[in-house]
Amino acid sequence: MSSLSAIVLAAGLGTRMKSPLPKVMHTVAGRPLLAYALRAAFDAGVEHAVVVTSGRPEIEEFLNEQFGGRVVTTVQDPPRGTGDAARIGLAHVRTERVLILCGDTPLLRAKELAELVAVLDRPSAGELSLMTCLLDSPDGYGRVVRDDAGRVCEVREQRDLRSDMERGIREVNAGMYAGRTATIGAALADVRPNNAQGEYYLTDIVASIARLSTVTPVQGHRDALLGVNDRAQLRDAEELMLERIRRRHAEAGVTVRGNPHIDDTVEIAPDATVDNGATLRGSTRVGAGSRVDVGCVLSGAVVSEGVILKPYTVITSSEVGDRAQLGPFSHLRPDSVIEAEAHLGNFVETKATRVRRGAKANHLAYLGDADIGEQANIGAGTIVCNYDGTSKHRTMIGAGAFVGSDSQLVAPVTVGRGAFVASGTTVVRDVPEDALAIGRPEQINKEGYAVKLREKLAARRASR
């Protein structure tokens, strides 16, 4: 195959998005719209891409970070139409063939693009191929006009349609083209803005190339056409993309129940289960045999194998080791590491905390900036007081230590290995290894006093 470049048109203003963010940077399933068009192009055999942008720095930053040297950007300002944008992009193309795409159609597939290019190798193909779709309601799209012999001879924009017969054409232009760079360049040089919108139409190259050679239509799936122009279409595109992602994981051996939200960037190993209403975002990874139950929200979570995340566990930028069990309603804030076989229960919150192998905190605890030793047991209601109003301090709890319910640990403080903290203790000084720390007022029992108290209260109520 001769080498191939792509031009991705992304300089439109995107005013209907009503957003300061450039349209192509709005995300679908965790990736900007623009990323999907580029990925499909690279998967279809493109080596190098030129993105025509409005000059917004966010786009350039993202492209450098994600695609590095494979993508260059060039600026079209002002946006004078798709033909003008393609001409500006083409100035950076050095390959014999070029693919032209829009940056706002995230559902296009690599195999359709590959076919668009592959047809050019057919002896009868001519010098341009064009992706088309058959629609029941073609309104708004450019129509593919064919001659009496059925050959494509023109694409006419909605606003330039001249008769009801033309308006009735159901075959539309999907906005993706492949062809010989030199031929497209020559055709673009002739494009004039003599149309209803006063713009340079890329679609005008179809008529001029059809006059000299052949334009080959390739029928694509209607999804490929779904261009995002407003937030309603963004939502439609995301719904379709999410269903594709769920199906991809299911086909790879993941049990996917109902409709969890799984970003395109997430990795899930076979034999994991993701339940209805879970949300898995960003760089989240879930290991084999793990279960992510209803309502869990995972962002940048690294979950190992055989982990059980019970309903409504929230994990942000943290790690969970093999066979650990969390939730329901556990909350791991950034930089937490929960080691293998540890258990965290309902309303347990961690932040920058390591819970070592087999340690347990089963109910109601705040464990921030702490290190909990192996097999340690943290009782219900334990609070690590890590903040003194100015700075954060660490709490160290040794292996096998037992922290009784309703204790406070005022950091910085260390509880030694095997130490025992009695319930209700406020620990302000280090507890040595194997020591008992107890810090609570002694209890006094007054015999029969409850009866007297009740009588006194009743009398007071009667006198009111």
Binding site for ligand UD1 (CB under 6 A): 9-12, 52, 76, 79-82, 84-85, 102-104, 141-142, 155, 157, 172-175, 201-203, 227
Residue 142: name its binding partner from ligand UD1, Mg ion, none (Cβ under 5 to 8 Å by kind).
ligand UD1
- Min dist. Cβ of residue 80 to ligand UD1 (A): 5
- Min dist. Cβ of residue 52 to ligand UD1 (A): 5
Residue 106: name its binding partner from Mg ion, ligand UD1, none (Cβ under 5 to 8 Å by kind).
none
Count of other CB atoms within 10 angstroms of residue 2 = 10
Pairing of the two strands 152-156 and 143-146 = antiparallel
In terms of CB distance, is 218 or 298 closer to ligand UD1?
218
CB 184, CB 95: distance < 8 Å: no
Selected catalytic residue, list 92, 221, 363, 393: 363
In terms of CB distance, is 142 or 368 closer to ligand UD1?
142
CB 89, CB 9: distance < 8 Å: yes
What span, in angstroms and rounded, lies between the C-alpha atoms of 36 and 110?
10
> What torsion do the CA atoms of 192, 197, 202, 204 make, to the nearest 10 degrees?
-60
Answer yes or no whether residue 106 interacts with Mg ion by CB under 5 A. Answer: no
Residue 81: name its binding partner from ligand UD1, Mg ion, none (Cβ under 5 to 8 Å by kind).
ligand UD1
What span, in angstroms and rounded, lies between the C-alpha atoms of 218 and 113?
9
The region of 183-191, 227-235, 261-269, 340-348 touching Mg ion under the rule CB under 5 A is 227-235
In terms of CB distance, is 79 or 381 closer to ligand UD1?
79
Concatenated DSSP letters for 336-359? -EE-TT-EEEEEEEEES-EE-TT-
Answer yes or no whether residue 368 interacts with Mg ion by CB under 5 A. Answer: no
- Min dist. Cβ of residue 188 to ligand UD1 (A): 12
Of the residues 83, 103, 227, 398, which one makes contact with Mg ion according to CB under 5 A? 227
> Helix, strand, or coil here: 163?
coil
The b-or-e profile of 53-87 (16+ CB within 10 A means b, else e) is bbebeebbebbeeebeeebbbbebeebbbbbbbbb
Q: State yes or no: is 363 an active-site residue.
A: yes
- Min dist. Cβ of residue 382 to ligand UD1 (A): 55
- Min dist. Cβ of residue 129 to ligand UD1 (A): 15
The b-or-e profile of 381-411 (16+ CB within 10 A means b, else e) is bbbbbbeeeeeebbbbbbbbbbbbbbbbbbb
Site of interaction with Mg ion (CB under 5 A): 227
Task: Provide the annotated active-site residues.
Answer: 363
